Amino acid sequence: MHLEALYATAAKLTGTIGRIHAASWPGQAAMLFVDEIVSGMEELQADILKLRGIWAADYEPAPVVRNRENIKGITGVLLAHWEWAMQKHPAADEPYGQGNANPGSQVSGWYRAALRFTKQDEQREVKRLAPCPGCRGPYLVESRELRLVNDQPYIECRDPDCQRILTSAEYDRYVKELNAAILRPAA
C-alpha cells in the first residue's frame, strides 16, 4: 500500500494536478484511504493530548501532512499514551463499534478497514512469486483465506491439480535455494 501511494504521488505530478474529484490515477484510492486513517489518527492524538493537558484545549494543530515521518511521529505519540487511552480515556468503557470516541474502538476500526482495503487491492495479485516447487507453474499466490502463522500469509499454488501450500518461511527458504541453484554454475 505504501509503495502504491508513492507511485500515485509521482503519477500525480506528471499531469493530473487538480483533478481530485475522481479516481483518475493509479493508487489514488490508496492515498485517500491513507489520508482518512492519518487524519483519524491526528484527531485521536489531539483528543488524547488535550485531555491529558499536554496541549491547551484551544490549541489548533497544523494541517495534516501525510508523509512517513509525520505518520511515525503520530504513531509514537499514540503508543506512548496508549495505556492511558485504553484505561482512562473518558470513552474507554464505551462498547466497540462505529461512531464513538473509544480509542481502542477507533483503532480496531482502522485495522479492519485496512484489512478490507488490502484484500481489495488488485496490486497484490500481481506480486511476482517464484515458480511453484510442486508443478513448476507460475501459479503461486499469497493466500488471503488461510489463517496466518506469525502474521505471515501462506503461499499457495492455484493450479487445481497441484494446490501446493507453503508457509512464508518455507517459501523464503525455497527462493534462497532457487537463487543458490541459479548462481552455482556461474561460480
Q: How far is the CB of 115 from Zn ion (least distance, A)?
A: 27
Those residues with Cβ within 8 angstroms of residue 117's Cβ, 6 or more apart along the chain or in another chain: 1, 30, 33
Q: How far is the CB of 135 from Zn ion (least distance, A)?
A: 3
How far apart (Å, rounded) are the C-alpha atoms in residues 57 and 129? 52
The residue among 101 and 129 lying less far from Zn ion, judged by its C-beta, is 129
Helix (H, G, I), strand (E, B) or coil at 143: coil
Q: How far is the CB of 137 from Zn ion (least distance, A)?
A: 5
Is 165 a residue that touches Zn ion (CB under 5 A)? no
The residue among 72 and 136 lying less far from Zn ion, judged by its C-beta, is 136
- Selected from 43, 71, 159, 167, the binder of Zn ion by CB under 5 A is 159
The residue among 6 and 129 lying less far from Zn ion, judged by its C-beta, is 129
How far apart (Å, rounded) are the C-alpha atoms in residues 130 and 85? 44
Helix (H, G, I), strand (E, B) or coil at 155: strand
How far apart (Å, rounded) are the C-alpha atoms in residues 113 and 146? 19
The tally of CA atoms less than 13 A away on the side-chain side of residue 180 is 6
Q: Name which of residues 80 to 139 contact Zn ion (CB under 5 A).
A: 132, 134-135
The residue among 101 and 130 lying less far from Zn ion, judged by its C-beta, is 130
Where along the sequence are the contacts to Zn ion (CB under 5 A)? 132, 134-135, 157, 159, 162, 164
